[in-house]
Each structure stands twice: as C-alpha cells, then as structure tokens.
Chains A and B, each alone.
Chain A
Amino acid sequence: MATQRSALLNREIPAELARALAREGRDPASFWLSAETDLNLSGKYEPVYLLAGADAVLVASPPRGDHASPVRLSLAKKDLGEVRTRQGIGGGFVEALVDGVYVEILAYSNARADTFHKAVKKLEDWRKGREVFVGPEDDEDPRKCPRCGMALEFKGDLCRRCINQGAVASRVLKLMRPYAGYAAIMLSVLLVILALQMVPPRLVGMLVDNVVSVKAGSGQMLRLPLPFWDAFSQAVLASNPDMDVHVLGLLFLVGVLFLTQLLMGFMNMINGRLVSFVGTQITSDLRKQLFHRLNQLSVDYYDRHNVGTLVSRVSYDTEAMKDFVRQAIQGLLAQMLVLVVTGVMLFSISWKLALWTLLPAPIVVFASAFYWRRIYPRYYRVWEGWSRMNGSLSSILSGMRVVKAFGQEEREEGRYARTNDYVRDSTRGVEFTTSLFNPVMGLVFGMGGLIVWVVGGRGVIQGAGLTLGALMAFLNYLGMFYAPMTNLSQLTDWVTRFLTAAQRVFEIMDTAPQITPAARPRRLPDPKGHIVFENVTFGYNRHEPVLKNVSFEIQPGEHVGIVGKSGSGKTTLVNLLARFYDVEEGRILVDGIDVREIDPGDLRRAIGIVLQESFLFRGTIYANLTYGNLEATPEQVLTSAKAANAHDFIIRHPLGYDTYIGERGAGLSGGERQRASIARALLYDPKVLILDEATSNVDTESEQLIQEALSRFTAGRTSIAIAHRLSTLKTADRIIVMEHGQIIEKGTHEELLALGGLYHKLVKIQTELSREPSVDSLAVRKARGAS
C-alpha cells in the first residue's frame, strides 16, 4: 500500500489528537487514510477524523478532556461490510454495513462531499483486499478553479472570478475592432452635432441683444459677429436701400437658425443610421458566434441550464452590445462632451452666474445616485412579476383541458389574479416613486433657473455687464447642462448592467464543451457495429452513479434488448454510446475504438436513435423525415415511411409529405410522431440502430407492423432496443436486464424465463395484465420448439 501524502486523504493528524491516540497505544503514523470532516454526527460543526490503519477504521476527534478517549468509533476490518456515502440534505454520511445494518459513522457538509466520496472508494478497495494508492493526485478537484481555487458550479464550469470585468470590457472593445472605422465616423458626426447644438443659444442671444431690443429706424448700424453678414447686408441694402437693417438682421439670424436645425437633423439622421448599422451588425455577428458555441456544447450543458435563460442570453444579452454602441457613442461620450462644452459656454458668458448654477448640482447627482441604487432594483421585481404572470398564464392555458376536467376554473382565476396583483403592486411601487423623483428633479432644475433669473436678472437690470440676450443664452445652456448630470449619475448602473450582460455572453462563448473531439480523431468510415462496454461507471449528479461498473459486448449484427424498471439505467447506456455524455470510469468501444477517440461525425453517422419523446421540428413532414439525410430520394423517403407504418397517415393529409407541422410535431398524434421519427431514423441508414421505447405510443397493430419492418431493416445491422413492453423483445438475440445501474441478468428470452429472475417476474406481470397466455405457456412453447 503506497502512502504518498495527499492533503485531503492523508492529512496530518493534529498534534493533540495524535498524542491522545498514542496514549491509547495507536501509532498516528500507521494510518494510511486520514480525512477531516467538518461535522459531528449531531450535525454540529466540529473537526472529526476518519482514520484507517492496517486492520481497522477509526472515527476520532481531539479529546475534550485530558483523559477522554479521542476514539468515537472503531470498526475492525474483518467485521466491516460495505462502506458507502449516502446523500442527505446539505450534507451526507459515511455509512458502514455492520452485521447487516447500515450504520452512520461520520457526517460531512457538502463542502467535503468530494473528499469522502474519494475516501470511501479507497476504503472499499482496502476492504476488498485491493492495493490502495493515496497520493497528491487525489487532491485534484475538477470542481475547483485550477487558477484561483474558487468553487465551480459543476465540472468544467467557468470561474467567475477569473473572467474579471476588466477583461470583459477589453474583450468587448476587441470585438468591436472590425468596426473601428465606423466608430471614428460616428465620433466625428457626434462632434459636429455637438458643435451645432451650441449655436442656437448664441444666435438667440444675438437676436435679443442686437436685433429685437434695438428700436427700428434708430439708424444704428447693426453688427453681427457672423460670417457672410457684412457682405449679405451690403448686397441687400444696395439693391433695396429702404429696407430696415434690423428686420434684415432678424431674417438673417432666423435663416441661420433654420439652417442650423436643418443640418442638425441631417447629422442626427446620419448618426442614427450609423449606430443602427454598426450595432445590429455587432449583435448579428455575436448571435452567430453564440449559436455556434451552443451547438458545440454537450447535452450535459443543457441538463444544467434553463433553456429560457439561454434564449434570453442569445436574444437579449446580445442586444446589450447594440446598446453599448448606442450608449457609448450617444450616451456616455455625448453626455460628457455636452457637460464640458456647455459648462465652458456658461463660464464664458458669466463665470459668476455659472458658479451660482452649480449650487443644485450636488443635489442632482446625489438624488440620481440614490434613485438608481435604491429604486432601480424595484424594476427587477416588476420584470419578475411579469415573468411569473406570463408563466402562470401559459401554464394555465396549455393545461386548460386538465383545469376543466377537474373543475378548477375558479381556483386558476384566483391563482392568475394573485400574479396579476403582484405585477400591479410592484409596478405601482416603482411608478409611485418615479412620480415623486421626477417632480423633485424638475424642482431642482427649476431652482437653478430661478437662481439664474434672480442673480442674472439683477445684473441685467443694474447693467452689471450682463445683457438680456446673454442671460437668455445662459438659460438655454443651463437646460443642456443639467440633463447630462442626471444621466451620468446612472453611469455606474449602466456599466454594471452592460458588463453583466457581456459577461453572460462571454460565459457561454468561453464554456469548454465537455464532450470534445479527440486531438487526433480516428475515422470510422465503414462501421461494423461491434460494441463493448468495459467497466463503465457514470452518474448525472455528483456521487450518484446511475451505472455502476457495467460491462457487456454486442456483436456486429446482433439484436439486443434492454429491460429493467424505470431509473435502472437503460437510457443512460444509450446516452453514453451515442456520446451525449462521457463515461466517468471505464470505456465504451465501437469496432474496437474508444468512442472518445472516434471522429464525432463518424460516430453520429454510425448510430441512429429513435427516442420515446419524438421531437419533430416545425416544417414539412418531408423536411423532418430527411433531417439526417438531405440527399434522400423521394423513393427512399416513401420506402422508409412505409416501413415505419407512417406512409398511410401521411398520405391522408391533403398536402401529403408537404404538410406543415407545428412546433414539436404539433398537428400529429403521439403515435404518428413516433412513426415519423422511426422513418427518419430508417432514412438515416445507420449501422447501429437504437430504439428507446420507440413504439410505446403506437397501438398494438401498428407496433406489430413496425416491428416487422424493423426486423427487415435491422437485418445485418446492430440494434439495441429498450422496451417496457417485453413482447417486442421476444425476437431479440439477447436481452440484458438492468437493475439499480447494474446488469443482473443476460440471455435470450427463453433463457431468462427459465432463470426465474427479474425478467421472469416482469414477463409474468405483463402477461397477467394483458391476459395473454401465461409465462408458463411461453416456456412450454419454447420447450416444444426445442424438441
């Protein structure tokens, strides 16, 4: 027995405990296994050790008194039956079989589950007299980030800490690099728009000071600091000397104002189109990349993630990228520029007045920050309310038959009303607060304006260096100055939301497919259909193996049936063979090659599957049948459909094979969907055909016809059929009987009947249920056949 150090399974025993053990004549150095748990058997936090020496297992903890024994339990190896872990809620137990009774010997929280799962495996090997290795490799934990050690949600999950948000921001910028040219144009356009925005208040100021407030016919010369004014006025006055120069100035300024507005509208249009073009392009590219990655991810990923959430990521989080472009250019950058430029304009008009206007600024910033920090989460509750209400509505409407059958209309109305009330109340919560916030902000802005009127108005009246036109320009700029302040206070929130969305997108992009093709995949151009399961162990959840050390072999062309109770592991066998999941221990060989090494395309091509849940896509029946074989000829389609007993029902539809069917095969009955999916598999023409309860939804007569067709089709091919209706397996070359993830019986129908085990029992139950000839008569028939 090798005893290299492992931090988990060969921990150093604390000195206090070591001394106490030594006092009792137990050598602490003699324990090859030493694992620390965090709980005692009362479910309280306490460090307790599981120790194993040459002949015994001990559970011990540092003693509470000088003379107290540290040993809580000692079991001699010779008296020890199976040792196993058993999952509780939030933790688990190590149990030992002692005199036919499972005894809990140690408890652990889920944080230590992996440690004790490994420890128990070692103990089992030790108990069975196998050689045990304990070493640093036992410390490897696929559920910990190898970089920072943070716990991961599942094996292969991405560490959230290691994809930091700074990296996300730089990746978004990297993603936008191809659009850098467009970004530069957008920025230039933005600057032009900004410059144009600064023009009207100045013109209004001139209009008031130089034109409107000067009496007509006063003979005063009109000076306007605008290009072309002098040349324009001289030319007009030369041809029309009676014209009032101030009226001319008024028309000129209004004309310039109109041109400014026109140009601004034009530039806004260009900007809008550019933003839309670049934003939608980025979103579209990103969606393609994301879908490509989702296609690559294994079935396991979809077991762990809600499809609705993934749809939201593909649809909405990618939209956040478009928002980023819009916000980054139009929002963030533009607002900051507006703030700076209008600030400069305000100070250039009157720095004293500008200082006064800054008085309400802190109130604006703090109030907005408070609003977004405290009130914004309430929006989440509204969205959540909507999602609950829609979920409830969809559930009630899709189950309306059941609702009516059980007369529960009133109750459902109450249920819907509750979700509806939740939406109403949460919406009111947000809107009531918003309706307070907005007027308060309006008041603050108004106060700023009032201060300007008081201070600036006094300046105008007293002629203290401020003209009425300058005051009006100032007030215009002031409106433009406060607006970005409220928006910029949302900056943190906006950046957080954007980075969160971007991170969710990158999370999918970065998820490594758990089922990866081999570095040098081996081709399987001409599969024979020879299948070997070699000591296969597998579970969908941690520490809960569904298959335990399963081994069997299927010869090319052999027809094998798999039977067993629900949850015995039948479907898991075919899931592993098709490599929807990878085995945890052992291996599966097809034609002598490990499925993990076979080119995934070749493996899929070799194996055809008909599932109990027949999934058909929206589209024509023809498109569904040829899903796996686009080059199939109409003759082949007809032949396969006929063989699957699907042709007759298809042809009854007015549009025959061109009939459109809805989502998940809506419009067809369960049996029809199943027959169509069998036809699809036959058309795929695989070397290995797997039928997982493939005829469970068809009537007995159709089943018989399909069985006949299948036996014709499967001649010379390997077939694996999982069935609850055992009559369908009578013709199988061999039947494998599974129970609790293990093979408990193997043989032909007759051999298994003669064995009198689980298969015999199942056949007997079904025979009694169907009132068919008894199992005994089946045995008699076999005997006659044999004679």
Chain B
Amino acid sequence: MSDAKDGARAPGAGRSGGAERTQIRFLTPEDCRIHLGNLGALHVTMKNEGIYGGIYTAYAFPVAYPNGYISIVQTAGDQDTELGVIRDLSEFPEGDAALVRQALERRYFVHTITRLKSIAMRFNMLFLEVSTDKGDLSFFMRWAQDRAVDYGQRGKVLIDVDDNRYLLPDLDRLPAKERVDFQRFIYW
C-alpha cells in the first residue's frame, strides 16, 4: 500500500466565497504549479493557498481552442469545484503542460480517424472499418443523426453503440473516394 499522505487539500476546502463561485479565475504559471502527487494523481499547488489533489481537466472549447481555455477541476464527493481555467497552455512550463495534456488525453478517449477502409449498411446500422491514431478498428453505429454530430465546420464525431467516440476532424482531408463513400451514408 502506498502512503498517500501528501498534504493535499480535501475537496471543497478553500475557494468557497460567493464571488469566487461566479467568476472565472484564470490560472497563470506565476500563481500555480501542476504536478503529480501520490499514486500518480494530478495535483495543483496554488500560490498562497496550498495543494489541491484529485484534479481533472476539461476543454472549454475543444474544437475552437484545443490548446487553451482548459478547466482545472477538483473532484469531490458529489460536487466538483473548478479551481480555475488555463487560458493558454503554452504559457506553462513544458512539464506542467505535458501533465495537463496527458490528463486531457485520459479524459477524452477519442479515436481520431485517419482513413476509412470501408463503410456498409446492415440491419439499418453502419459498419465501419477505419484506421485511427490508436490503430485499425472496426465498429458499428446506429444510422441516426444524433450518432454522427458536427465537429466544427467540416468534421464529424461518430458515436458507436457502446458510446465510444471516433473523430473525423476534417472530412476534406480524407481521400476523395473515402469521402464520397462516407457521405453516401452520413450526408448531413
């Protein structure tokens, strides 16, 4: 058993004032450090406040600003508390930024499609074989508009029957034949 006593602040401790709950607090490298605590949990040390453990990260604008406006949240029993928002990740030291990116990758388990090998309709379901950043995969999804949703102007997020997500960031980047095949079924 690891010793997890690292002096991290318990959930809900600290920022509880009314004004703080209604105002966005932007985090800067000057007032906070991002690091790992015991058991590899993400921690944030805030200047003049202390250490916050049990942190997760969330994009505010995953499509428009994937490198900025990242919310840093402390998870608690039933209520999560946002500690602040990182306006631009590149302002942070590389080590801190890398930890935030890793946390984002963990939270957003999304396959980015690079090639469409085949797409076919059976049983009113779409069966796809694709190459992704996580390797070659095949999956099937309901043929419905809420299962292939817009991602920016030219992209699509496909959601399979298990709620797994597959991102096509830009349809125009697919080879012409694959794009035509894709749009034969997902035309919206």
Contacts and interface: CB of A to CB of B under 8 A. Distances in A.
Given A89-B108, A100-B10, A103-B54, A151 B161 contact: yes
A152 B163 CA distance: 11
Contacts of A82: 77
A739 B184 CA distance: 48
Most buried by B among A76, A90, A103: A90
Interface stretch (B37-45, B87-95, B168-176): B37-45
B128 interface: no
A56 interface: yes
A39 interface: yes
Most buried by B among A74, A75, A104: A104
A503 B143 CA distance: 13
Given A89-B108, A95-B75, A151-B161, 9 more contacts: A98-B38, A100-B10, A103-B4, A153-B142, A160-B125, A309-B144, A377-B183, A381-B183, A384-B188
A43 B75 contact: no
Interface stretch (B21-29, B63-71, B99-107): B99-107
A19 interface: no
Interface string B28-60: 000000000111110000000000011010000
Contact of B105 (A42, A104, A384): A42
Q: Which 9 A-B pairs have the closest CB atoms?
A: A101-B53, A160-B123, A91-B109, A76-B1, A740-B78, A90-B109, A102-B54, A151-B161, A90-B165
Given A45-B134, A101-B8, A160-B123, A111 B39 contact: no
A76 B2 CA distance: 9
Nearest to B75: A102
Given A95-B75, A109-B164, A377-B184, A101 B54 contact: yes
Contacts of B6: 99, 101
Given A90-B109, A99-B6, A377 B11 contact: no
B144 to A, nearest CB: 8
A161 B39 contact: no
Contacts of B11: 100-102
Given A98-B4, A100-B11, A101-B8, A73 B39 contact: yes
B79 interface: yes
A164 interface: yes
Contact of B124 (A100, A109, A306, A500): A500
Interface residues of A, number: 54
A90 B1 contact: no
A56 B1 CA distance: 8
Contact of A90 (B102, B108, B146): B108
A508 to B, nearest CB: 13
A89 B2 contact: no
A526 interface: no
Contact of A161 (B8, B106, B123, B165): B123
B41 A104 contact: yes
A110 interface: yes
A88 B108 contact: yes
Nearest to B42: A104
Given A102-B54, A377-B184, A380-B187, A109 B106 contact: no
B17 interface: no
19 contacts: A42-B105, A44-B134, A75-B2, A76-B1, A86-B56, A89-B107, A90-B109, A99-B6, A99-B38, A103-B4, A110-B162, A111-B164, A163-B123, A377-B183, A377-B184, A380-B187, A384-B188, A500-B124, A740-B77
B110 interface: yes
Contacts of A681: none
A152 B161 CA distance: 7
Interface in B115-172: 122-125, 134-135, 142, 144, 146, 161-165
B164 A110 contact: yes
A107 interface: yes
Interface in A367-387: 377-378, 380-381, 384
Contacts of A163: 123
B107 A74 contact: no
Contact of B8 (A88, A100, A109): A100
A245 interface: no
A98 B41 CA distance: 10
B106 A107 contact: yes
A635 interface: no
B41 A109 contact: no
A236 to B, nearest CB: 66
A74 B187 contact: no
A99 B4 contact: yes
B39 A103 contact: yes
